[in-house]
Amino acid sequence: MSNFCSIVINGKTIKCSGNNMAVIDGNIIVDGKVISSNIPNNAKIVINGDVDKLECDGFVEVYGNAGSIHCGGSCTVSKDIYGSIKAGGSVKYGKVSGDICAGGNVKCRNK
């Protein structure tokens, strides 16, 4: 899967590339390296491009494909999920290869 091109956190764009991303304890971590700090809890995260693995506490939107996602809020993936997804809120996606665990509604756009 290709690398993502940018991350938008609560409207602030950060240019970067990598395969795996986490927002933990106020830090954005890409492929094991902290690239930004002081991220608020439950921030809305937007990834422009594909991501292999994503972990965050807040809401997430991925404009591309995703491997696996674990997020505390709702999750929207514009294309497909090639792994599993666990979300505290609702989930919208193209198609999924793995399991879905959601605290809210689940909606597949490609039926």
Q: What is the pLDDT of residue 111?
A: 54
Tens-level pLDDT at each residue, the chain (111 residues): 557 778 898 888 988 888 899 988 889 999 999 998 988 877 888 999 999 999 998 889 999 999 999 999 999 999 999 999 999 999 999 888 899 999 999 998 775
Q: Mention every residue, 6+ apart, whose C-beta is less than 8 A from residue 96.
A: 80, 81, 84, 85, 108
| Longest pairwise C-alpha distance within the chain | 40
pTM score, whole prediction:
0.89
